Amino acid sequence: MYKIMLTCKQATFLISIRSFQRLNLVHRIQLKLHFMACKTCHDFNHQSQIIDKSLVDLYQNDNFQSTEKLSKEKVSQIKETVNQHIK
């Protein structure tokens, strides 16, 4: 028989793994009920979503508005260093 009320440790476990795997219906209901009773886990869930979104941004976002460039001197210097390593 399922114990319907989760502990905070169990709730944070489900919150953590949900970005890797979809939770089943029972777990989703258990989490919802837990959030009604526990503000800290409710906040943890919010923070966990921020972290997940930021990780996606960190690993995948290659589009920046910045137009900063390396100086021509630096580019030549890098080429020179790279070429020294080829030889």
Contact residues for another protein (CB under 8 A)?
Answer: 7-10, 12-13, 15-17, 19-21, 38-44, 46-51, 53-60, 62, 64, 66, 68-70, 74-75, 78-79, 81-83, 85-86
Specify whether the CB–CB gap between 26 and 2 falls below 8 A: yes
Question: Which CB sits closer to another protein, 4 or 17?
Answer: 17
- Residue for token pair 């020179």: 80
Specify whether the CB–CB gap between 41 and 11 falls below 8 A: yes
Question: Which CB sits closer to another protein, 1 or 57?
Answer: 57
Report the candidate in 66, 76, 6 with the shortest Cα–Cα distance to residue 35.
Answer: 6
Specify whether the CB–CB gap between 70 and 40 falls below 8 A: no
Question: Which CB sits closer to another protein, 1 or 86?
Answer: 86
The least CB distance from residue 8 to another protein, in Å, is 5
The least CB distance from residue 12 to another protein, in Å, is 6
